Amino acid sequence: MITELNETENINLPLFPISSAAKILDISVHTLRMYEKEGLIIPFKKESSHRLYSKADIDRLICIRKAINESKISIAGIKSIYSLIPCWEITKCTKNDREICEAFNSHTKPCWTFEHSNNPCGEKDCRLCDVYSLYSECGKIKELITNCVK
């Protein structure tokens, strides 16, 4: 049975301005901007410079907060873990694609933090890319590696 989602039920709609997101997460606005600068999160931006966060973004941030506060993984550690997501498999990069890709060769920060207009990803919006969006939830990354490795 297929039911239609109403506006608030769609987890990918950019609904929350930064102050609301900060309030929901009980952190400061600046911390949110810092996570973004570090490449942990990519908020939605319309034509303006103002950020908007979706329910999915909030969930991702809850996961990041848990990693930092409960699991005691540093921001640099989270970046490093994100860099291990086999993006080349998800985006079906060729062997040749990989060779020219900075992200493929990095183990310090996630692929979506690299300039990519000159590589296979081209002008794609990383926010909408599976590599970024599917593996926010804690534990998902190992699951992914498991599935890739078979």
Residues near DNA (CB under 7 A) are: 17-20, 27-31, 33-35, 47-51, 65, 68-69, 72, 74-76
CB closer to DNA out of 71 and 147: 71
Are 16 and 8 spatial neighbours (Cβ–Cβ below 8 Å)? no
For residue 118, state whether it binds a copy of itself (rule: CB under 8 A).
no
Token pair of 55 as six digits: 């329910």
Neighbours of 141 (CB within 10 A): 17
CB closer to DNA out of 30 and 140: 30
Cα 86 to its chain centre, rounded Å, is 14
Closest listed residue to residue 50, CA positions, set 20, 19, 25, 17: 17
Selected from 49, 107, 117, 122, the binder of a copy of itself by CB under 8 A is: 107
Query: 138 contacts which partner out of a copy of itself, DNA, none, CB within 5 to 8 A by kind?
Result: a copy of itself
Are 57 and 137 spatial neighbours (Cβ–Cβ below 8 Å)? no
CB closer to DNA out of 68 and 145: 68
Selected from 7, 48, 94, 139, the binder of a copy of itself by CB under 8 A is: 139
Counting Cα atoms < 13 Å in the Cβ hemisphere of 76 gives: 0
Site string for a copy of itself, 53-72 (x = CB under 8 A): ------------------xx
